Amino acid sequence: MQKIISIPISLLYYLVFGFWLVFFHPIQWVCYNQFGYEAHRWSVAILNWFLVRSTHILGTTYSIKGLDSVPKNVPLIIVSNHQSLYDIPPYIWFMRNWHPKFISKKELGKGIPSVSFNLKYGGSALIDRKDPKQALPEIKKIAELVNTKNYSVVIFPEGTRSKTGQPKPFAVNGLKMLYKYAPDAYFLPVTINNSWKMTRFGQFPLGLGNNIEFHMHEALKIGDYSFEEIFEKTEQTITKHIKN
């Protein structure tokens, strides 16, 4: 029944979603080319406020736990499970003061209004997962940027989204590069719940009435742990709080 009811609601949502992406694309271009980094960053943040609020059409709500305890003015490596594309806008909006960047597949760097422009010019890393010679230098570059500027970078070490909410094993290489080249940073484990329910039927129609939960755990200073210790602790912390 929900699937049938969701059809007209999903159509309305996608119209609104697409409108904001197209509307903000030239705004981003002007902000970036005429006013620089800060103006562009805020144009992206405001876009994602609209994207987050647009999901209310679907009855979606958000719970953000632990945001007040996230360290400020330090570089952050945000390590998170990944359940759907609806994981992204809340990071950009709710963590806007931490200047979030992303490690994303290179295919997203072209063809999508607003999204591709931000990924290409906003400081994120576009990588080819099948080509370590291309991917690892890009991750090194963003690690050094984060470490120097006290920005944050979001990495989904599962690689691909979980369609059922159950976590996949975390890959090591990307996290190891971030650990090595952002030595002043903190690992911030984040558990996302219920985002997968947005696409329980696929990309159309969308799931209705979901509460997407972001649980931000205690930050771990890289200097206090070996890579093996911080990797294990981070993965265990995230997966332990994923709800069935």
Residue with tokens 């305890």: 69
Rounded to whole angstroms, how far apart are CA atoms 137 and 145? 12
Is residue 91 scored above 80 in pLDDT? yes
pTM, to two decimals? 0.93
Q: Domains in the chain and their CATH numbers?
A: 2-240 (3.40.1130)
Answer yes or no: is pLDDT of 164 > 80.
Answer: no
- pLDDT grade for 172, boundaries at 50, 70 and 90: very high
Residue 117: closest CA among 200, 40, 202: 40
Angle, helices 227-240/173-181, rounded to nearest 10 degrees: 120
pLDDT in tens, 12-29: 999 999 999 999 999 999
Q: How confident is the model at residue 221 (pLDDT cuts 50, 70, 90)?
A: very high
For residue 58, pLDDT beyond 90: yes
Angle at 83 (CA atoms; ends 12, 79), nearest 5 degrees: 130
What pLDDT is attached to residue 2? 80
Q: What is the residue whose two structure tokens read 């694309």?
A: 25
